[in-house]
Structure 1
Amino acid sequence: MAAQIKICGVSSPEAIRASITAGAEWCGLNFYRPSPRFVSSDIAARLADVAGTAIRKAGVFVDADDELLSLAVVAGKLDAIQLHGHETPERAAEVRARFGLPLWKVLSVESAEDVVRADLYAQAADFILFDAKTPKGMMPGGMGHQFDWSLLRLYNGALPWGLAGGLTAANVADAIRLTGAPLVDTSSGVESAPGIKDVDKIAAFCKAARL
């Protein structure tokens, strides 16, 4: 079965339309204000109207409180909540129960221990997204960093999972082949500048992921 594709950090109608045209199943709306990909509730609502039911929308949050989550879930008509901060299994379970949406937990990977941590979320999340750990003081994702994919051999948990971190049209086919990732997620890998999605790069990424 072909890997699903998520284009994360979309912030314009053009990026949404390009993701749909290229066949991506998911897009990510980033509600983390320091990010160059941040979208307000108003922008998220407009993007949700463009997306309709043609592509599913995951809201990306970093240690968000319930007020922000509530506004974003409604405005973005979200299909999933993606937690990209230091949320504990207890917090993940709380968010999942409160909002009734599939809960994605991002785990930043640098070592074997980071992969094994996925088991802590077995009863609290619906999906695990393995991403590269960024240096301290940098954004928690979307920086183009890649981790050692061979570490994923250590994961034998029950939750479905996806791969993120430095994926581009040039390496996504190898990433899928080497890891067997059921879903691949890209953000900076399809941009011309931080936060600016490139429609040609989106098309190329999706084409390469289907090879």
Structure 2
Amino acid sequence: MPSHVAVKICGLSDSDHVRVAAEAGARYVGFVFFPKSPRHLGLDRAAELAGDVPDGIAKVALTVNATDAELDAIVGAVPLDMLQLHGKETPERVAEVKARFGLPVMKAIGVAEASDLTQIDLYSDAADQLLIDAKPPRGAELPGGNGLAFDWRLLAGRKYWRKPWMLAGGLTKENVAEAIRLTGARQVDVSSGVETAPGQKDAALIRAFLKATKG
């Protein structure tokens, strides 16, 4: 397993869980701005939580097909280090968002089969980072956070994409070490895998997940 795998705990909504994630060694924390998600935050609450994040941990806003006005409101209210675009944004839109807001942009790419990997090269020029996630089932309300994994063998031996990438989708304390081994991921993202119910994070699960990534 690669040493120093960077972990993102996404969908946080409680200051105790932000503290636990930071103390356990998370490198990123994610806040969700998508009303259909059980992890959605209002701007005031997100600003409070972001204020609790220690220096050196990246604060990431997850958005889905957000308009400029919506992004203006988020960036204006919440101190952030990165924007995560988790919808159907085109490479052109990714570049536009990056230029407008001056923040690094991570683009989520849904994978179910080998042909989906062509998206990675398409977005590599525009995005600063890529989030390789399980493609949501047809008709799903949420583009991510569904607790689904994909066949990690699709990523085996593909460590050399032009941009840093993060593995997501169905990761748990039980399977994350194997996922890292199969894919060579240097970064992983978890949301539902550290919850007891949708949107309900658990401190013990957060700690156990971070411990599992350290082998």
Per the normalisation by structure 1, the TM-score is 0.96
Please tell me whether the aligned partners of residues 20 and 54 of structure 1 are also in contact (alpha carbons under 8 angstroms). Answer: no
Question: What does the per-residue CA deviation read over 1:8-63, in whole Å, with 9 as the maximum and x for residues that have no partner?
Answer: 00011011011011110101000011100000111111001111425211100100
Inter-partner Cα distance in structure 2 for 1:200 and 1:31:
25
Deviations 1:185-205, CA, capped at 9 Å, x for gaps = 000000011001000000000
Distance 1:75 1:44 in 2: 8
Aligned partner of 2:108 in structure 1 is 106
The one-letter amino acid paired with 2:105 is L
Matched, 1:17 2:14: no
8 Å CA contact retained: 2:8, 2:190: yes
**Count of equivalent residues:** 211
Q: Are 1:180 and 2:179 an aligned pair?
A: no
The Cα offsets for residues 63-90 of structure 1, whole Å up to 9 and x where unpaired, read as 0001111121232211000000000000
Find out whether 1:151 has 2:131 as its counterpart: no
How far has the Cα of 1:157 moved from its partner?
Answer: 2.5
Q: Tell me the residue number matched to 1:135.
A: 137
Looking at structure 2, the residues matched to 154 and 109 of structure 1 have their Cα atoms a distance apart, in angstroms, of 16
Check if 1:32 corresponds to 2:31: no
3-state SS of paired residue (1:51): coil
Say if 1:22 and 1:203, in contact at 8 Å, map to a contact too: yes
Contact kept in structure 1, 2:156 and 2:182, CA below 8 Å:
no
Cα 1:198–1:79, aligned 2, differ >3 Å: closer, same or farther?
same
SS at match of 1:192: strand
Identity of aligned residues (%): 51
Larger deviation, residues 3-12 vs 135-144: 135-144
In structure 1, what is the Cα distance between the partners aligned to 2:145 and 2:114?
22
Moved over 4 A (4+): none
- 1:49 maps to what in 2? 51
Q: What is the DSSP-based 3-state SS (H/G/I as helix, E as strand, rest coil) of the residue aligned with 2:52?
A: helix
Match for 2:81: what amino acid? Answer: D
Cα offset, 1:105, TM superposition: 0.4
2:29 partner letter:
C
The one-letter code of the counterpart of 1:178 is L
Q: Which deviates more, 65-74 or 148-157?
A: 148-157
Q: Which runs of 5+ in 1 are unaligned?
A: none
State the Cα deviation string for residues 108-129 of structure 1 (Å, max 9, x = none).
Answer: 0011121121111122101011
Write the distance in 2 (CA, Å) between the matches of 1:187 and 1:76: 20
Match of 2:74 among 67, 72, 75: 72
